[in-house]
Structure 1
Amino acid sequence: MKYDELNHFSHPQHKLRFEYSELPFKCDGCREVGIGSRFKCSLCDFDLHTHCAAATVGAIALRHPFYPKCRFYFFPSPPGDSPRYCNACGRNIAGFVYHCRTCGFDLHPCCAALPHVLNADGGLRLHLQRRASANCHRCGRKGRSWSYRSECKKYNLHVACVTEMLVESWHELYYGGGGGGGGGGKKVMVSGNRIPAIRGAGMSHHRSGKGKVKRCCELAAMAVQFVISAVLGDPTTVIAGVVSSFLFR
């Protein structure tokens, strides 16, 4: 088998090939949005995040430092009959999931793999936190979901807010103008060869001003691209640069 190909239980008909593209896609594993690195079946228009492609049934339990007592096991679909929600981003679980049988916690594969430290440009470092200890730069609230906070403690962004920005901006691409979200829906063709603008990425809960507030907003605008790329499952500098070119279009 070639290093850039794999056989996956979720798509036994054909091998999936690794590719890198700036076209957005919806992962057929977790049913969430993605961009950049993926494993794809071109014959069937089937896509998987790299994190979802690495997930296998019966694998060793995943451990996460935010939940030291939990053992997360991979499920190809949400267990049980009740709706389930990701404890990291707050989005509903519609496909691949890591689930703790004891505590009932759930994580999307990409959320489970979110980097605990993001190194942005200009020496800005963002740390992943389970509970927000400061108001979110976008929504102005504390509690919602996991969040990234800068070392200077002036900037905080919910993972849930990033996910909402992506869904609000791109749901027409996947559902032909219908409701967004992680559920079903028919894919539609995407025009162009780059990602669309991310609606609301330049928004801030803070009022514009001078001095420290202005600098805080500048750092936030720079940091949001790295958080977006991490949530999309491809936390690379290249993707961050692609995203940044569309933030304020």
Structure 2
Amino acid sequence: MEREESNNNNKQHFSHKHILTRLQLDEVEEITCNACECDVEEEQFYGCTDCKYFLHEECAEAPRSIEHRSHPSHPLTLHAAATYSNQSFICDACGYVGYGFCYSCAHCSFDLHLFCSTLPHTIPKEEEHPHEIQLVCEQEKLLTSDMISICSFCDAMNTECWIYYCETCNFGFHLNCMISKVVEEEEEEEEE
């Protein structure tokens, strides 16, 4: 496992005690980002090879605090690990357990995966769907709206998770179902 340092760019990151070095991915390596828990596929990333601690460049640059429309009452703070005793959290966006970085509200026990915090508010109309699809992440809208929150992928209703929704077609899908579908499609493409 041989990596080259790229341009001697080093970064001290709050999440790790050692300085992270910009590295280049070796074609045969499989590396997981400690922040978002996704595979590192970009050519350059930050890492500490001694500790096997790696971050996508985008994850390393994530702001320490954000204001998010899903939780307007308090700012969300980025933590390198969940602040709960079991070192995991349930993402309030997708409902999945997280072990990596999370944006968290200390007042409300509200947590988001780093990935979920950056989801687009709208998906532009495409070949698959003729209208713009809106992200509905406000709990009040999910609970009180006339919108059908039955997922077009799983045919179930779940007001606990965010949905992407087209008001024109009364069509929507849970965030976790969309993520599962994307992962499934990527795995099928890899097998081909």
- TM-score normalised to the size of structure 1? 0.54
Deviation at 1:70, TM superposition (A): 2.2
Identify which of 151, 163, 176 aligns with 1:160: 176
Q: Structure 1 residue 166: deviation in Å? A: 5.4
Query: 2:97 corresponds to which residue?
Result: 92
Q: Distance in 2 between matches of 1:34 and 1:155?
A: 31
For residues 208-247 of structure 1, the aligned pairs below 5 Å read 246=189
Partner residue in 2 for 1:128:
135
Higher deviation after alignment, 40-49 or 94-103: 40-49
- Alignment CA distance shift 1:26-1:112 (3 Å): same
**Aligned CA distance change for structure 1 residues 85 and 17 (closer, same or farther; 3 Å):** same
How many matched pairs?
A: 169
Q: Cα distance, 1:128 vs. partner?
A: 0.4
Structure 1 unpaired stretches of 5+: 170-195, 200-245
1:109: Cα distance to partner?
1.1
Gapped runs of 5+ residues in structure 2?
A: 1-5
Which residue in 1 is equivalent to 2:36? Answer: 30
Cα distance in 2 between the residues matched to 1:34 and 1:149: 28
Structure 1 contact 6–16 (Cα < 8 Å) conserved: yes
TM-score, normalising length from structure 2?
0.68
The 5 Å alignment of 1:58-207 reads 59=64, 61-82=65-86, 83-122=88-127, 124-130=131-137, 131=142, 133-143=148-158, 144-165=160-181, 169=184, 197-198=186-187
Change (3 A) 1:63 1:6: farther
Residues in 2 aligned to 1:197 and 1:30: alpha-carbon distance in whole angstroms: 18
Deviation, structure 1 residue 66? 1.6
Q: CA deviation at 1:73?
A: 0.8
Shift in alpha-carbon separation, 1:124–1:35, aligned structure 2, 3 A:
farther
Partner Cα distance (2:170, 2:40) in 1: 29
Q: Higher helix share goes to which structure? A: 1
Q: Aligned partners of 2:30 and 2:175: how far apart in 1?
A: 19
**Seq. identity, %:** 22
